[in-house]
Amino acid sequence: MPPPQDENLDHQFLRVAIETIDDAVEVSDASGGFRYVNPAWERLTGYSMAEALGRPPSMLRSGFHPDEYYQAAWDTLERGQSWTGMMVSRRKDGGLIHTWLRVYDLRDDQGKVRFRVAVRQDLTEDRRHTEALRVREEQLSLAMQASRDGLCDWDLRSGHFLASDRWKAIVGATGEPEQLAAEFLARVHPDDLDALMEATAAHLGSREPAFTTEYRVVDESGTVRIVESAAVTVRDDSGEPRRMVSAVSDITDRKRAEAGLFHSATHDPLTDLPNRSLFVEHLKAAIGRAGRDARSAFCLLYIDLRHFKLINDGHGHSVGDQVLCSIAERLRQLVRPGDSLARLGGDEFAVLLAGVTDAAVADTAARRLLRRLEQPHHFDGLTVAVSATIGVAMGDANSEVDRLVRAADTAMYNARKVDHKSVGVATPDATARSQRRARMVVGLREALARRHLDVMYQPVVDLRTGVMVGAEALVRWYSVELGTVSPVEFVPLAEDTQLAGKLGQFVLDRAVADLRTWECNGGLPPDFTLHVNVSPRQLLDPRLPASVARLHESGRISRDRLCFEITETALIDRPELVVNAISTLREFGVQFALDDFGTGYSSLSHLRGFAVSTIKIDRSFVALLPEDAVTRQIVAGLLTMTEALGLAVVAEGVETESQQQCLLALGCSRAQGYRFARPMPAAQLHELLASQAGRARLG
């Protein structure tokens, strides 16, 4: 720019402004040649100021417009008005530029044109985008015609917001164009606004061309409509979003219809509570929330009504239905927002308590729920009381729906069947245990059917002489699937699952057969007793005396050779039946030993009524010998009393010589334990018996 003659601060300021703006500015003088062009002009046209100065604006003519177009512009300027319009010009490199041109004539006092100032705004970019937009707009407007969508166009740089009437009608906007954007945001349902803003921001920050959202709008009368919006964003070359065009459609009716279908597919028709499938979704969502925020862990309550069938049978199904609805209603009243409820099936309900992370709190909540459910229900003069059991499982980010439901179900089952309680809380351990138990029951049943169990024998020795005076049969199960399973684990399981009788019979048959072999081969000491463990259930099984009788009649077993080891639990649970069973079996010459003595509650005097001839001191006592003085005293006292009562004593689990010596010193005469021999196969015991006959000693 040639230095103005009277350059002062104002001029400097204007120069800086003109030189830094994005719009191209050109000034020509009365001679028709360029007098000044700014840097933006140089960039736009590709000509430098030096190349331009003195040359006429027609140097940029593109031939794009007809002569009349230029003529009309000149005519306007001639009339003293400014001219504004599209102008396609040609760059130095031959390319076309689309500009938005504004031309002003500066005249002197006589009205003579001194300078012509033109400001060009580059539309090239805009045009390209407008073109893209136009194509999309066309597509959108086609869609709009078909679907009666509303259309809006939002210029992200200027904030300019244009909307079709249909758009306004759908959104419920009435205001002027300038207020539309603000009005729109005010119309969006407050609960959906954050999500909409977030989705929009995420979309604008991405490179995605289009996105669809759904939200609710509330019009002035408060009517809520659900709209679906399909937006297309136009970006510049650097990916910056420039404008967004969206088509909105009112999907309220469709949604309502869908919701109706959804509701009936996801709710229990009787109680209108969510059904299992919806509850599973709620559980998944809760697990997801817990993953994002540890404080939103939760607990699951599995509620099972007791003897509900009796209500149905006794009062009829309509009363049963009323009870279920009443239960559902009480549950609804008890839960808080954020919790979930469901009827999982017939008489099973589930509750998800959000934010409950402590098992003790869950337990208390379950009890509170239970108290409410168990209050009597009144219908038309009828009062019905229902009781329930609740299983509780704690859920967190690592939970899996299936396992969680199973854990709560198992906790409920255990509470009812095993612990006889009304509320049970699942521990992770309990879940794993119950799975193992389930596998064990299947495996054990099969092992019994195929006789895939084994029996080992552990010698019982005379502590003074080391001579074997008997042996205890100990069952073994080597499962392919579960590995070696301890009888401590599977014997109680057999008890619970009606397999006790079969298992006991198997061991008894095998033990008697092995005894017979030893006997026939000679070398069995005259007072040798075979100990067989008999579980409480087996003891009370009426088939037991019958099978023992058969063994005697068939001559497969001699009198007084057999000793049944029973535990205190058997005595405590059904004492009168046990007394009968023992006396019946004693008639066949079976002796009885009380196993694991000292671990239960029996006093020795109490034992007299049971006609037990031997007690076995539990190995937990022996383990503390000889060091522990109190144990020594207890064992000493025990031995004195048993002697007085005429009972024989076997010390279990003798492992060391010092234990052996201590027991001997205290007057114990018989023992069993690794010190003498571990449980061994029948054939090995037979060899031992044979070598003993040749005077070998154990211990």
Burial of 316 (0-12, 13-18, 19+ CB in 10 A): exposed
Which of 33-41, 242-250, 329-337, 532-540 is the region at the interface with ligand C2E (rule: CB under 6 A)? Answer: 532-540
Interaction of residue 653 with ligand C2E, rule CB under 6 A: yes
**Residue placing its CB nearer to ligand C2E in the complex, 87 or 615:** 615
- First-to-last alpha carbon distance for the chain, in angstroms, is 120
**Residue placing its CB nearer to ligand C2E in the complex, 18 or 622:** 622
Q: How far apart are CA 226 and CA 231, in angstroms?
A: 16
Out of 228, 347, 568, 596, point to the residue binding ligand C2E (CB under 6 A). 596
Q: What pairing do the DSSP bridges indicate for beta strands 96-107 and 241-250?
A: unpaired
Q: Contact 613/580 with Cβ under 8 angstroms?
A: no
Q: How far apart are CA 518 and CA 687, in angstroms?
A: 9
Residue 28 identity (one-letter amino acid) = S
Which of 85-93, 103-111, 197-205, 646-654 is the region at the interface with ligand C2E (rule: CB under 6 A)? Answer: 646-654
Q: What HEC string does 295-359 produce? A: HHCEEEEEEEECCHHHHHHHHCHHHHHHHHHHHHHHHHHHCCCCCEEEEEECCEEEEEEECCCCH
- Smallest CA-to-CA distance from 564 within 602, 528, 525, 614 is with 614
**Residue placing its CB nearer to ligand C2E in the complex, 137 or 652:** 652
Angle between helices 428-449 and 500-520 (to 10 degrees): 50
Interaction of residue 673 with ligand C2E, rule CB under 6 A: yes
Size of the site for ligand C2E (CB under 6 A): 24
Which of 127-135, 200-208, 271-279, 470-478 is the region at the interface with ligand C2E (rule: CB under 6 A)? Answer: 470-478
State the binding partner of 655 from Mg ion, ligand C2E, none, CB within 5 to 8 A by kind: ligand C2E
Interaction of residue 487 with ligand C2E, rule CB under 6 A: yes
Which of 370-378, 424-432, 484-492, 602-610 is the region at the interface with ligand C2E (rule: CB under 6 A)? Answer: 484-492
Which of 29-37, 324-332, 412-420, 486-494 is the region at the interface with ligand C2E (rule: CB under 6 A)? Answer: 486-494
Interaction of residue 568 with Mg ion, rule CB under 5 A: no
Helices (H) and strands (E) in the chain, counts: 26, 26
Q: Shortest gap between Cβ of 598 and Mg ion (angstroms)?
A: 10
State the binding partner of 172 from Mg ion, ligand C2E, none, CB within 5 to 8 A by kind: none
What phi, psi does 55 have (nearest 5°)?
-90, 155
Interaction of residue 565 with Mg ion, rule CB under 5 A: yes
Q: Please list the helix, strand and coil fractions of the chain in percent, rounded to the nearest 5, in that order.
A: 45, 25, 30
Q: How many Cα atoms occupy the beta-carbon half-sphere of 119 within 13 Å?
A: 10
State the binding partner of 487 from ligand C2E, Mg ion, none, CB within 5 to 8 A by kind: ligand C2E
Residue 84 identity (one-letter amino acid) = T
State the binding partner of 37 from Mg ion, ligand C2E, none, CB within 5 to 8 A by kind: none
Which of 104-112, 125-133, 323-331, 531-539 is the region at the interface with Mg ion (rule: CB under 5 A)? Answer: 531-539
List, in sequence order, every residue forming a beta bridge with 393; answer none if it has no partner: 300
Q: Shortest gap between Cβ of 593 and ligand C2E (angstroms)?
A: 9
- Smallest CA-to-CA distance from 386 within 483, 449, 306 is with 306
**Residue placing its CB nearer to Mg ion in the complex, 196 or 572:** 572
List, in sequence order, every residue forming a beta bridge with 198; answer none if it has no partner: none
**Residue placing its CB nearer to Mg ion in the complex, 341 or 512:** 512
Interaction of residue 533 with Mg ion, rule CB under 5 A: yes
In this structure, is the dihedral angle defined by the CA atoms of residues 519, 521, 522 and 524, taken in order, positive or negative? negative
Interaction of residue 598 with ligand C2E, rule CB under 6 A: no
**Residue placing its CB nearer to ligand C2E in the complex, 534 or 582:** 534
Q: How far apart are CA 352 and CA 373, in angstroms?
A: 16
Size of the site for Mg ion (CB under 5 A): 5
Q: Can you spell out the DSSP letters for 92-156? A: TTS-EEEEEEEEEEEE-TTS-EEEEEEEEEE-HHHHHHHHHHHHHHHHHHHHHHHHT-EEEEEET
State the binding partner of 535 from ligand C2E, Mg ion, none, CB within 5 to 8 A by kind: ligand C2E
**Residue placing its CB nearer to ligand C2E in the complex, 5 or 486:** 486
What are the angstrom distances between the C-alpha of 523 and each of 141, 318, 520? 106, 75, 9
State the binding partner of 626 from ligand C2E, Mg ion, none, CB within 5 to 8 A by kind: none
Interaction of residue 119 with ligand C2E, rule CB under 6 A: no
Which of 53-61, 264-272, 533-541, 606-614 is the region at the interface with ligand C2E (rule: CB under 6 A)? Answer: 533-541
Out of 152, 248, 475, 685, point to the residue binding ligand C2E (CB under 6 A). 475
Other Cβ atoms less than 10 A from the Cβ of 522: the count is 9
Q: How many Cα atoms occupy the beta-carbon half-sphere of 521 within 13 Å?
A: 16
Out of 327, 447, 595, 689, point to the residue binding Mg ion (CB under 5 A). 595
Q: Shortest gap between Cβ of 484 and ligand C2E (angstroms)?
A: 10
- Smallest CA-to-CA distance from 167 within 183, 186, 195, 148 is with 148
Burial of 111 (0-12, 13-18, 19+ CB in 10 A): exposed
**Residue placing its CB nearer to Mg ion in the complex, 391 or 504:** 504
Interaction of residue 514 with ligand C2E, rule CB under 6 A: no
What phi, psi does 40 have (nearest 5°)?
-65, -35
Q: Shortest gap between Cβ of 458 and Mg ion (angstroms)?
A: 9
Omega before 626 cis (within 30°)? Answer: yes
Sheet holding 423-425, edge to edge: 340-345, 348-354, 298-305, 388-395, 423-425
**Residue placing its CB nearer to ligand C2E in the complex, 424 or 679:** 679
Q: Shortest gap between Cβ of 531 and ligand C2E (angstroms)?
A: 8
Out of 242, 596, 597, 642, point to the residue binding Mg ion (CB under 5 A). 596
Interaction of residue 453 with ligand C2E, rule CB under 6 A: no
State the binding partner of 350 from ligand C2E, Mg ion, none, CB within 5 to 8 A by kind: none
Q: How far apart are CA 639 and CA 628, in angstroms?
A: 17
Out of 674, 683, 691, 697, point to the residue binding ligand C2E (CB under 6 A). 674
Interaction of residue 507 with ligand C2E, rule CB under 6 A: yes
Interaction of residue 347 with ligand C2E, rule CB under 6 A: no
**Residue placing its CB nearer to ligand C2E in the complex, 118 or 507:** 507
Which residues ranging from 600 to 639 are in contact with ligand C2E (CB under 6 A)? Answer: 619
Interaction of residue 679 with ligand C2E, rule CB under 6 A: yes
List contacts with ligand C2E (CB under 6 A): 458, 473-475, 486-488, 491, 507, 533-535, 565, 595-596, 619, 652-655, 672-674, 679
List contacts with Mg ion (CB under 5 A): 533, 565, 595-596, 652
